[in-house]
Copies of this chain bind each other. A is one copy, B any other.
């Protein structure tokens, strides 16, 4: 009896909170909203949302050529994942293959073109999570693996472990036949210049003649991530990154940390983050968003905004993308921009760069 009363009260509060939190859509139909739709997942209701990093480029530095390059690559990534979902494939595969497209492109800070550590090497992190089983896999600080997200998937599928690090993780990936590449495959001239400038700055040397291209992505974050829900209602999320330019001492950021940079749970949502990873770890950003949905009954968008505010209050910056169990999509960021896009089975889609 008491339980029934509590349930009724809880329901009332949830409804009230929901009513209060829900904001009218200020955008066209292509804009992600958090208006909860059908309470049950519809079999044809699938979607994918991606990001290519937050704060990587300022509006004033964007050229038409560069915009076109990002637009095309993000579209290719979205189309890849969407096609898998449309033919009834699972969300894990969609997330993985979508991230592969961005890992293979030098435009982003993941796989080819990832930033360099203080020794001029790539140290890559990635993680992936299955929202149905809560299975997950991650690799931290690996070099040479062409697609770190595939290594994360392999950890999830082929071990009883969640996270493998450094040389051990590389040995494991090699044993299982993952593709390796020489250092030269990963390293781009842009990233070498970026490292040199970071190291010069550390020594007190200021570089005056910096070209537009040189300034791009400087000290910023181009982590990539994807979240998808498939026709069966299973949510998956994944994230892949090269971390921070000039990073030292085996620094590990939020990307390979389940609950920080990546989280998926069919009960709530899937999340992928990008930004100053330390703040996303301290706030357990992805898990926090999921719990705000599960325990505080916040809509997805409000949950993401709440977490980004927590991160901002601590002094951090970055962004998050998410997708809930009704295939609603939302994102939130406190940087000038975040490369992002979504594509849904209701034929809405969008690719956006800035807060407009």
Residues of B within 8 A of A278 (CB): 160-162
Residues of B within 8 A of A164 (CB): 249-252
- When chains A and B are docked, how far (Å) is the Cα of A171 from the Cα of B16? 54
5 nearest A-B residue pairs (beta carbon) = A168-B250, A295-B295, A168-B249, A172-B249, A165-B250
Q: Are A163 and B248 in contact (CB under 8 A)?
A: no
Contact among B20, B163, B250, B282 for A281, CB-based, below 8 A = B163
The answer to whether the Cβ of A236 comes within 8 Å of any Cβ in the partner chain is no
Query: Which range contains the number of A residues in contact with the other chain?
Result: 35 or more
From 291 to 321 in chain A, residues with beta carbon under 8 angstroms from any chain B beta carbon are 291-292, 295-296, 314
Q: Enumerate chain A interface residues (CB-CB to B < 8 A).
A: 2-3, 5-6, 9-10, 12-13, 16-17, 20, 134-136, 140-141, 159-169, 171-172, 248-253, 257-260, 263, 277-278, 281-284, 287-288, 291-292, 295-296, 314
Q: Are A16 and B20 in contact (CB under 8 A)?
A: no
- When chains A and B are docked, how far (Å) is the Cα of A260 from the Cα of B38? 33
Could you pull out 30 A-B pairs where Cβ atoms are within 8 angstroms?
Answer: A2-B16, A5-B16, A6-B13, A6-B17, A9-B9, A13-B13, A136-B282, A140-B252, A160-B278, A161-B249, A161-B278, A162-B277, A162-B281, A162-B282, A163-B252, A163-B281, A164-B249, A164-B250, A165-B250, A165-B251, A167-B250, A168-B248, A171-B249, A172-B248, A172-B250, A257-B257, A258-B281, A258-B284, A259-B260, A291-B295
Q: Are B136 and A281 in contact (CB under 8 A)?
A: yes
Nearest to A16 among chain B residues (CB) is B6
- When chains A and B are docked, how far (Å) is the Cα of A354 from the Cα of B40? 44
Q: Are A165 and B165 in contact (CB under 8 A)?
A: yes
Q: Are A287 and B259 in contact (CB under 8 A)?
A: yes
Residues of B within 8 A of A10 (CB): 13
Q: Are A134 and B282 in contact (CB under 8 A)?
A: yes
- When chains A and B are docked, how far (Å) is the Cα of A16 from the Cα of B281? 33
Contact among B2, B159, B248, B259 for A284, CB-based, below 8 A = B259
- When chains A and B are docked, how far (Å) is the Cα of A350 from the Cα of B266? 41
Q: Are B284 and A251 in contact (CB under 8 A)?
A: no
Residues of B within 8 A of A161 (CB): 249, 251, 278
Nearest to A6 among chain B residues (CB) is B16
- When chains A and B are docked, how far (Å) is the Cα of A9 from the Cα of B296? 14
- When chains A and B are docked, how far (Å) is the Cα of A135 from the Cα of B295? 25
Nearest-Cβ distance from residue A325 to partner chain B, whole angstroms? 18
